[in-house]
Structure 1
Amino acid sequence: MNDVATRAVNDESGKKFATKEVKITAIDVLYSLAQCTPDLSDAGCNMCLGDAISSLASCCDGKRGGRMVFPSCNVRYELFPFYKITQAAPPPAPVLPPPASSPDASKLSNMRTWVALAWAKSPPE
């Protein structure tokens, strides 16, 4: 839970929101979420989430899920997905190097003209 809280505090979008999935057994995945209201400073968010996580021990210790909701932050964990999981975008395709030598534009123009002339000069059947 501390890791997801740290991610929320350091969220570059400014939303102070983070989720995390951790495989805890061969079949179980722990889904966790931490969120602060955007008006909190990073230090205030960190303190609020720390208090919320500490409070989880008194309400939810040993349980399969739990949540702590404070006025300026909240944390939650479950053994089922309770938020939309989006796949990371695939990495961009590698940039291919340009061809070793590209034909001169005037040669291409002449070649097109030549092909057109060759077609025009073919003998009639």
Structure 2
Amino acid sequence: MVTIDEYLKGILAQILASYKILTELSDNPADLEIIKKELSKIRGLLQVIHSKLDGKKYQTDHLVALNKLATYYIDTYDFTREIEILGQVYYKDSDRLKNLRLLIINSLNDKKLIEKLQTILIKL
């Protein structure tokens, strides 16, 4: 049987892999689809973490912190509108694409989210 820590390890590894992909893009028009896919994946995985940890069952410090981080990100950041506008109007503008990508990367570094996810992954 998979423990909650092992389960979360896999999810955190996927989030960090998606983050790495976002940081390595070169802002070509084709990157918009990758940004969309990776951001959806990150948000979905954070939602899974939130759903899994919400409630009283898991109360260790790192799991409570992880749930708070996931909830904060989901509630605070949503780039759907920006991605849609960029996709329809400015999809060939690499500067706008780069700005959106950097905004997303910065959002993932808000409250040191990525750093804390890496730390929690190491602890698990």
Q: TM-score, normalised by structure 1?
A: 0.29
Structure (1 or 2) with the larger CA radius of gyration: 1
Q: Which has the higher strand share?
A: 1
Question: TM-score, with normalisation over the residues of structure 2?
Answer: 0.29
Question: More relative contact order in 1 or in 2 (CA 8 Å, sep 6+)?
Answer: 2
